[in-house]
Amino acid sequence: MRTFGLLIRSLLFRLWMYGLMAVMGLVCLPLLLGPRRWVKAVVRLWIRLMHGGLRLLCGISIQIEGLEHLPKGGALIASKHQAMIDVFWPWLHCEDPALIFKKELSLMPVFGWYALKLKNVMVDRAGYATALRAMVRQACALADQGRQILIFPEGTRGEPGEALPFKPGVAALYTQMNVPCVPVALNSGLHWPAHGLIMTPGVITVRILPPIAPGLKRKAFMQTLQARIDEASADLLRSKVR
């Protein structure tokens, strides 16, 4: 019976989230003709309303730790990825984030229009080396403008406790951007699963770790980044068990 109740609440939340996206996206469509800051304001309002629905309908709240570790200006943010919600916190807490999306998402109605207006980094995954070079060029240009680039080094959503190998894209960005890299651990998959519909009540914790200064060799950087994220992610899981 409890599982059925959680399923109903999870479905109601998704209706709220996507319905709100569609309604706000269409009502605010004329703002796409204005400055980018207007669209950022719309996205931030949508996220706050979405978070409110998440608390009310699913009993899930968001806790951010380590905001003091976010540098001012250009930065590379390398985050664990377990749930859809992982892409939202930077829009509320970073100065001017830019997310790395697969190019296909830019073709989606409403979502794609806003993603393009916000000048995120769009990647053609079928392009391989060419796509990697294009991603690095876009990210470097945006970082030079003082923006924070968010990448999920594993390249896909994983399960809690799963340590997937990091893709080479994050190392390419780190070595070329010459900005601090901020590791991020989280436990969102405990409450918002990567696969399946049922969401469970609790607190999702996003833990922002001290930045890695630019200048490390590729191998040393990858080892340091993965060790910090995996260790902090495991600690978040242990703290849930205690």
Supply the CATH number for residue 223's domain.
3.40.1130.10
Nearest residue to 135 (alpha-carbon basis) of 218, 80, 76: 76
In angstroms, how far is CA 151 from the centroid of its own chain?
A: 7
Q: Would you say residue 150 lies in a domain?
A: yes
Q: Would you say residue 52 lies in a domain?
A: no
Q: What is the pLDDT of residue 236?
A: 93
Q: Which two tokens stand for residue 197?
A: 């519909």
- Residue 78 has phi, psi (to 5 degrees) of -110, 110
Q: Would you say residue 71 lies in a domain?
A: yes
Q: If you count them, how many residues does the chain have? A: 242
Reply yes or no on whether the pLDDT at 115 is more than 70. Answer: yes
Q: What is the pLDDT of residue 188?
A: 95
Q: Would you say residue 160 lies in a domain?
A: yes
Pair type for strands 75-79 and 148-151: parallel
pTM of the model: 0.92
Find the mean pLDDT for residues 179-208.
94
Reply yes or no on whether the pLDDT at 56 is more than 80. Answer: yes
153 C-beta neighbours (distance < 10 Å), count: 24
Reply yes or no on whether the pLDDT at 30 is more than 60. Answer: yes
Q: Would you say residue 22 lies in a domain?
A: no
Q: Would you say residue 88 lies in a domain?
A: yes
CB 93 within 8 A of CB 64: yes
Structural domain span for residue 160: 61-241
CB 148 within 8 A of CB 196: no
Cα 155 from Cα 106, distance rounded (Å):
18
C-alpha distances in Å from residue 225, one per residue of 31, 80, 142, 162, 241:
39, 11, 22, 16, 25
Q: Would you say residue 56 lies in a domain?
A: no
With cut-offs at 50, 70 and 90, classify the pLDDT of residue 224: very high
Q: What is the pLDDT of residue 229?
A: 96
Find the mean pLDDT for residues 143-159.
92
Our count of domains for the chain comes to 1
Q: Would you say residue 13 lies in a domain?
A: no
Reply yes or no on whether the pLDDT at 152 is more than 90. Answer: yes
